[in-house]
Structure 1
Amino acid sequence: ALHTELMKETVFADLHKLYPDRINNKTNGITPRRWLIQCNPGLTSLAREAIGDRFMDDIEKIKDLDPLADDAA
């Protein structure tokens, strides 16, 4: 990811030159998509009713809810 590339180019530039395969990115924690699905099934259900299942594979699709933000229903 971007942060990893910055670290390779700045803070760890010398190390990266010596061992280019050693610095890599690891996800720390849970993804927002997984958190939503596993920890908040009620909200997941509402989102699925409103925009379908697309966000379950691609969290960026959750933005499809934006036009519904002011919907009182």
Structure 2
Amino acid sequence: MAMLRGIQTIIGATVEDAKAFKEVATLTQGIITEIQKISELSTTNQKNIQAVSEASVSLNKTADVFNHELNKFKV
């Protein structure tokens, strides 16, 4: 009888451990999903920074051209 109770206790503990592991797995999946979102945002941010940098270079070149043209009118 005592052995049966011991086995039942072990089974109960094993079931509880399995539930806890399942919850950890679910939470871990949520963390992975959030990390993937952060990665996507970082990639988008990097692309936006690159676009701003390219626009800045283009505007700088345009300003240089305008400056050069304006200097033609200076006396």
Q: Fold conserved (TM > 0.5)? A: no
Say which structure, 1 or 2, has more relative contact order (CA 8 Å, 6+ apart).
1
TM range (shorter): under 0.3
Higher helix share: 2
Alignment TM-score, normalising by the size of structure 2? 0.24
Q: Which has the larger radius of gyration?
A: 2
Alignment TM-score, normalising by the size of structure 1? 0.24
